[in-house]
Structure 1
Amino acid sequence: MRRPRQQIAITPDIILRAYSIGLFPMAETAEDEALFWVDPEDRGVFDLTAIAVSKSLAKTIRSDRFEVVADRDFDSVIAGCSAPAPGRDNTWINARIRSLFGDMFAMGHVHTIEAYENDTLVGGLYGLHIGAAFFGESMFHRATDASKVCLVHLAARLIDGGFTLLDTQFITPHLASLGAMEIPKTVYRARLAAAIEREATFHPFGQRAGIDGTTALAIVRNAKA
Structure 2
Amino acid sequence: MIPYYSAENFVFPPTETALPEPNGLLVAGGDLAPERLLLAYQSGIFPWYTEGEPILWWSPSIRAVFWPEHIHVSRSLAKFLRKSPYTYSFNQAFTDVIQSCAYIHEHNTGTWITPPMIQAYSQLHQQGHAHSVEVWQQGQLVGGLYGVLIGSTFCGESMFHRADHASKCALLALAQHLVPAGLHLIDCQLPNPHLIRLGAKEISRASFIEQLTRNKPHILAANALKPQVIAL
Q: 1:8 aligns with which of 30, 41, 49?
A: 30
* 1:68-87 correspondence to structure 2 within 5 Å: 68-85=88-105
Aligned partners of 1:5 and 1:34 also within 8 Å: no
Q: What SS does structure 2 have at the residue aligned with 1:204? A: helix
Q: 2:216 aligns with which of 196, 203, 214?
A: 196
Q: Percent identity?
A: 34
Deviation of 1:86 (Å): 9.5
Aligned partners of 1:33 and 1:96 also within 8 Å: no
Q: Give the Cα–Cα distance (whole angstroms) in 2 for the partners of residues 120 and 78 of structure 1.
A: 15
1:105 corresponds in structure 2 to 125
Aligned partners of 1:32 and 1:94 also within 8 Å: no
1:132 corresponds in structure 2 to 152
Aligned-partner residue type, residue 134 of structure 1: F
Aligned-partner residue type, residue 161 of structure 1: A
Question: May I ask how many residue pairs the two structures share in their alignment?
Answer: 210
2:52 corresponds in structure 1 to 32
1:20 corresponds in structure 2 to 42
**Structure 1 residues without counterparts, runs of 5 or longer:** 214-225
| Superposition TM-score, scaled by structure 2 size | 0.83
Q: What SS does structure 2 have at the residue aligned with 1:144? A: coil
**Structure 2 residues without counterparts, runs of 5 or longer:** 2-21
Q: What SS does structure 1 have at the residue aligned with 2:199? A: coil
Deviation of 1:194 (Å): 0.4
Change (3 A) 1:127 1:205: closer
Q: CA RMSD in A?
A: 2.3
1:217 corresponds in structure 2 to none
Deviation of 1:19 (Å): 0.5
Q: Give the Cα–Cα distance (whole angstroms) in 1 for the partners of residues 223 and 49 of structure 2.
A: 30
Aligned partners of 1:68 and 1:153 also within 8 Å: yes
